[in-house]
Each structure stands twice: as C-alpha cells, then as structure tokens.
Amino acid sequence: MRILLIGADGFLGRNLAAELSDHELYGASHVLETEGRNFNIDLSKPDSIAAVLEQSQPEVIVNLAGIVANNETASLNAVFTTNLLDQLLATGTHPKRVIVTGSAAEYGIVKPEELPIPEDAPVRAENFYAKGKAAETAVALKYRKEHKLPVFVARVFNPIGVGMNPRMLIPNVIAQVQACAAGESKSIEISRLDSLRDYIAVRDVALAYKALIEGEPSHDIYNVGSGVATSNSDLINLILDNWGLETRPKLVETADQPEPLAAAQADISRIKHDLKWSPRSTIEQSVKEICDASK
C-alpha cells in the first residue's frame, strides 16, 4: 500500500515509519529534502501539497505534522489540514483513508465521574493548543461529512518514549534526577504530585495508526491511550526507582492548588473492539526504556 506520512521526521513519525516498513512508504515534512521517497512539503502552501500528492499518488495519507506550542500559532493546525483536504479535492486524489491527528487536550477539563473519557464526550477545549486541535478535528469531520472524504481522527493522549521532546515532563524530571546524581541538587521540582495523565508508549501509538491504516475503522474518531491514569508522584517514583540513587531527593511542589482535572484516562474500548488494538507496553516498561537511554 502506498502511504504518505506527513511529519515523518517527528517523534511519532519516526516510530510509525518503522512499523510501516512492509508498505510503500513516502515521507514528507517541512525539513526533509525532496529526494527518492522523501518530499519537502509546506502545508501552508497549496501548490506544495499538490506537488507531493501528484508525485506520491498515495492510497493512505497520515498527517502527523502540526504545531504543538500552546500559543496563537496552534490555530494553524486547522489551516494546514484544511489545505491538505482541499488539495485532495482539487487534484482528484482519492485515497482509501486519511488519518488526522487529534489530541486528548480537546476534551479540556472534566469531572472525575467522566473518566475514562469516551470519544463522544463533550469537547471543552480551553487553551490555545486544545482549541487549535479541536478546530482541526472539526475540519476533518466537516470534510468527511460534506465531501465524503474517508477522514478519520486519532485522538492521541500522551505519547512517551526514547527520543521524546526534552521539554516534556519525563525528560525534565530525568534532567533534575541527573543533577541530583551529580550532587548539583537535592530536590526535584514538580507543579503538583497529584496531577494525572494517561501516558502511552509511542510504539503503541504507532501500532494504533497501523491498525487504522490496515483495518476497517467504522467510527470517525478513535482515542489512542493506555486507559490508565498515572499521577506525577507515581511517575517520578518510577524514574527514581530506575535511577537507583543512594539518597532519595526531596519532591517539591511549586503549585499551591491542585490543577483542574484534565482528560487523564482514555476510554479505549472503541479501538479495542473495532480494530483489535490494545497497548502492549506498560508505563513501567516505557519509563525504564527512557531512563536506560538517558544514562
């Protein structure tokens, strides 16, 4: 199957590419050079998108590209996906499937009784990033309905693994643990120990996308998470257990009040039922792999 993977050079893109080696894979991003099966693409420019579509003639398109910053630029995610879908229509490209990447942030703040959160829960996006992803999902569903494009949304929770962005929580905590091991610090700072998130191994996310590509999805949106809520306290202690410091550093909370409850646990029954996908890695295994790679 010919697959166009947009955002192929990113954290998830690299992992997904590894899982799609048995397909005819074409990679695209704004930093890749056009050579062989790789293409430079600018999702803000329709002509750039059209050229890549015409050269790759994809049967499946996966869009992992986008802006992850929590500022006004996140609104461009909806623009990028609009441009991509517009060019499918303009060029007469008829893929079997188009997968757009959503985010758990779209659910916003929830009530404890709403967890685990299902795909049909209300969208209450609050910050710039969440609103941008919610708008992108809305665009995907609009084109699915109005233009009958085979668009599906993978609403991804918190992917973790070796090579993740150093600004994320786990690499940040590991950097503080390393400072403690070097005798440069005696404590680890965290906003709140009671904050919860659903962390999922990036390889499991990649396998979920592969299931969406190769299977027969019957819903328009699929949660991709572990189905387990992990607290910051448990996460940090897992990291410390793997590091094996002689003296346990002090954990210091920098926020006085608990943060509002986010969509900290995914209901993954839909993707389990429809596509026979389930996470393979536990949080313990993922944290160990990240720690081992950081030592």
Give the DSSP H or E segment for 53: helix 46-56
Residue 95's Cβ-side half-sphere holds a number of Cα atoms within 13 Å equal to 29
Residue 197 CA to residue 231 CA, distance in Å, equals: 6
pLDDT tens digits, 94-131: 999 999 999 999 999 999 999 999 999 999 999 999 99
pLDDT tens digits, 250-294: 999 999 999 999 999 999 999 999 999 999 999 999 999 999 999
The whole-number pLDDT of residue 49 equals 98
| Average pLDDT score over the chain | 97
The span from the first CA to the last CA of the chain, in angstroms, equals: 39
The whole-number pLDDT of residue 292 equals 97
Name, in order, each residue with C-beta under 8 angstroms of 237's C-beta and a sequence gap of 6 or more.
none
Work out the burial of residue 173: count CB atoms within 10 Å of its CB; fewer than 13 is exposed, 13-18 middle, 19 or more buried. buried
Task: Tell me what the mean pLDDT of segment 24-51 comes to.
Answer: 97
The whole-number pLDDT of residue 39 equals 98
Residue 261 CA to residue 231 CA, distance in Å, equals: 11
For residue 62, what pLDDT band results from cuts at 50, 70 and 90? very high
The whole-number pLDDT of residue 87 equals 98
CA-based nearest residue to 102, from 10, 205, 17: 205
For residue 245, what pLDDT band results from cuts at 50, 70 and 90? very high
Please report the DSSP string for 151-210 in residue order.
Answer: EEEEEE-EEE-TT--TTSHHHHHHHHHHHHHTTS-SEEEES-SS-EE-EEEHHHHHHHHH
Helices (H) and strands (E) in the chain, counts: 9, 13
Range from 40-44, 60-64, 81-85, 244-248 carrying the lowest mean pLDDT: 244-248
Task: Tell me what the mean pLDDT of segment 135-164 comes to.
Answer: 98
Residue 72 CA to residue 231 CA, distance in Å, equals: 29
Task: Tell me what the mean pLDDT of segment 202-230 comes to.
Answer: 98
Distance of CA 66 to the CA centre of its chain: 10
Q: Which amino acid, residue 50? A: A
pLDDT exceeding 70 applies to what percent of the chain?
Answer: 100
The whole-number pLDDT of residue 189 equals 98
pLDDT tens digits, 74-94: 999 999 999 999 999 999 999
The whole-number pLDDT of residue 48 equals 98
Residue 68's DSSP bridge partners are none
Residue 59 CA to residue 9 CA, distance in Å, equals: 20
pLDDT tens digits, 186-207: 999 999 999 999 999 999 999 9
- Decide: 226 and 250 in contact? Cβ < 8 Å: no
CA-based nearest residue to 222, from 280, 281, 268: 268
Residue 108's Cβ-side half-sphere holds a number of Cα atoms within 13 Å equal to 11
The whole-number pLDDT of residue 7 equals 98
Distance of CA 201 to the CA centre of its chain: 10
